[in-house]
Structure 1
Amino acid sequence: MDNMSEMAAESTTLPHMTEALPQIPVLQSVGCSFVLAVIYVGSLYVWNTKHNRDHPTTIKRRFASVSCVMLIAPLFVYFFSSPELLQQEPFPKLLGFRWHGLWQAIVIPYLLTALLYAGPIFVNMQNESWRSYFDVDYWRGSLGNIIWIRNHVMAPLSEEFVFRACMMPLILQSFTPLTAVFITPLFFGVAHLHHIAERLSLGVKLSAALMIGLFQFTYTTLFGFYSAYLFARTGHYIAPLLAHAVCNHMGLPDVQDLWQQDLWRRVVACILYLVGLASWIYLLPIATEPSLYDNKLYWNVK
């Protein structure tokens, strides 16, 4: 009798763990995601200002704009998701807000992202720039710098909320997890092409603006793949948020700084660049195993 009761209990829990999400039409999920991307980018230009994007007035106004978009974006998930899904799961959970697996979602993706920057971190340690992280004045100055706040706080906070926490739940109701991971970053990458217009307004030549824009589209889309993967695998908003903040802080590798190092340091740094990338690729599926985060919602197709 005990074995029969255990089998019955398993039969009631397994379907929840393995069955796909309730489906919505592709046009509905993709259309909502497109509208969200347009609203997010459009909100940056609703203000009539002559200042550039780094002027405090422009930044403050854009903070207000994207904050409004963050209030609107969840409504798309609520009104356009499958009614069965909304009845089945708490709404905050769909957006990646839940307690189960939270500390793992904070620590593991953060360390995984730092591993990707093993080379640059080594170079920074040689320059002793890492000491500034233990300097109170550094943090006081950073928190008082609105550009730093934009790059490290508001941009990751708003972009990951709109493009991951609100787009991914919709796209995942129309596509398999892996397909969704490759679709949503395209909206994220295209959303950054508006910087081309900003550069043209500053007098940058069209060819140069297009080349920079294409390069930016490429690396933002690549990061978008990683960020969407983290969201789908962990089921947590905090995971891609922290990864975004780390990537914004580290930026692209400074090759000039690398070649200014002594020969042996340069060799070690190059090795760490390769080892960090290879280790990140190898550990990515292991460190984001959904069972580590008690994620039974979004990554149910192996």
Structure 2
Amino acid sequence: MVESEHFLTRQVEHAHIRCWVCVLCCLLLTCVYVGSLYVWRSSLPRDHPSVIKRRCVSVLLVSALSPTVVTSWAHWADVRVGVSVWELMGVRLEGLLPATVLPLLLTMVFYLGPLVHSAIDDPRGFIEELHCALNVQWWRECVRDVVCLRNQVVAPVTEELVFRGAMLPMLVPCTGPTAAIFIAPLFFGVAHFHHVIAQRHQHKSTMSEILLVAGMQVLYTTVFGTYSAFLFMRTGHIVGPVMCHSFCNSRGLPDLSSALQHPQRAALLFSYLTGVLLFLLLLFPLTDPFFYGAAPICSLAPSSPSVC
């Protein structure tokens, strides 16, 4: 009886240590990702082409190394899954097509109000923008434009791989799927606080203004991170969060204040409300694991997974 209690105590202590190591690994990934942006010493602004190219190289390297962190953690924590680390991080073929299309469609439904707003204000520009998004040639030109490459490709891919693909598999065994969805975005939100440094160097705003803007950005990125983590957990794919991340980067925050002052305010508010309601109605049906196959990450859950 005493030996049994001693064994259970050791198991609990090991579980606590494993979870603390998980948190430290997530902090390490966050620090390395953000720190890699500043290894290149330069007085040039962050949007300068040479700065963007160097930073893209840095974060791509960190993303490429993130599976090693997950593998090392799984080996140390004695976590065994019958799939490769890349599949565990959401890079897999089963259900790839619906995982690419359905989460993006769901996100566009949420943005129904802003999309209608753009179509009303500039119909021709909206049609051209839609045409560009579906045009392969536009994406080729985007790759040549370093700002577009960073915002639409490199940032979504690297941030989702590191902050969702790598962190969630380490968090789920300790916290469970539901809690992990809300914990992982905290690292993602804090990671964006480094913009305070760049804005402070520019001396264009007071410190209080910089902190206010940074705080809003941290809040927004944390909320988006929760949604992205939910998509990853439900689909078991990283491609959906990447596509939604890229789309949100292109659209920015919905400008509800502008809609309230618009001549066609009633129509716009109706479209905003309709988009939100449809989003809530379709959130679980369009992320049903039926479309994507069993998510490898859900097998790491310590008990019956409620979100998977």
Same fold (TM over 0.5): yes
Letter in 2 for 1:158: T
Residue 255 (structure 1) shift: 4.5
Number of residues paired by the alignment?
Answer: 278
The offset of 1:257, in angstroms, is 5.2
Give distance in 1, aligned partners of 2:28 and 2:140: 38
Further displaced range: 26-35 or 217-226: 26-35
Once the 2 structures are TM-superposed, how far is the Cα of residue 141 of structure 1 from its aligned partner?
5.2
Whether 1:132 aligns to 2:125 is: no
Indicate the larger mover: 122-131 or 217-226.
Answer: 122-131
1:58 aligns with 2:54: no
Instruction: Indicate if the aligned counterparts of 1:132 and 1:138 stay in contact, CA closer than 8 A.
Output: no
Q: Which stretch has the larger CA shift, 33-42 or 93-102?
A: 93-102
Match of residue 23 from structure 2: 30
Pair 1:296–1:84, CA change in 2 (3 A): farther
Matched AA of 2:56? F
Deviation at 1:254, TM superposition (A): 3.2
The answer to whether residue 87 in structure 2 is matched with residue 93 in structure 1 is yes
- Rounded to whole Å, the distance in 2 between the matches of 1:293 and 1:195 is 36
Map of 1:263-278 to 2, 5 A cutoff? 263=264, 266-278=265-277
Task: Out of 33-42 and 67-76, give the one that drifted further.
Answer: 67-76
Matched, 1:108 2:132: no
* Residue 258 (structure 1) shift: 3.4
The answer for the alignment partner of 2:64 in structure 1 is 71
Deviation at 1:145, TM superposition (A): 2.1
Aligned to 1:48: 41
CA displacement at 1:218 relative to structure 2: 0.3
Per-residue CA distance 1:123-158 (angstroms, 9 max, x = gap)? 122212222232578656544321111111111011
Give the aligned partner of residue 217 of structure 1.
218
Q: Structure 1 residues 217, 238: closer, same or farther in 2, change over 3 A?
A: same
Q: Flag structure 2 segments of 5+ consecutive residues without an equivalent.
A: 1-14, 299-303
1:156 aligns with 2:119: no
Kindly tell me: are residues 132 and 138 of structure 1, through their superposed partners in 2, closer, same or farther at Cα, counting changes over 3 Å? farther
SS at match of 1:276: helix
1:253 to partner: Cα distance: 1.9
Tell me, yes or no, if the aligned pair for 1:97 and 1:236 is still in contact at 8 Å: yes
**What is the distance in 1 between the residues matched to 2:141 and 2:259?**
27
Q: 3-state DSSP class of the match of 1:167? A: helix
Q: Give 3-state SS (helix, strand or coil) of 2:283's partner.
A: helix
Q: How has the CA–CA distance of structure 1 residues 118 and 169 changed in structure 2, closer, same or farther, with 3 Å as cutoff?
A: same
Contact 1:44/1:66 (8 A) holds in 2: yes
How does the TM-score come out when normalised to structure 1?
0.86
Instruction: Give the C-alpha shift of residue 93 in structure 1.
Output: 1.2
CA distance in 1, matches of 2:83, 2:94: 14
CA distance in 1, matches of 2:238, 2:50: 29
What is the identity, as a one-letter code, of the residue corresponding to 1:301?
P
Q: What is aligned with 1:279? A: 278
Give the whole-Å Cα distance in 1 for the aligned partners of 2:141 and 2:85: 38
User: 8 Å contact 1:142–1:149 — kept in the other structure?
Assistant: yes
Provide the alpha-carbon RMSD of the alignment: 2.0
Q: Which amino acid aligns with 1:108?
A: L
Per the alignment, residue 243 of structure 1 pairs with 244
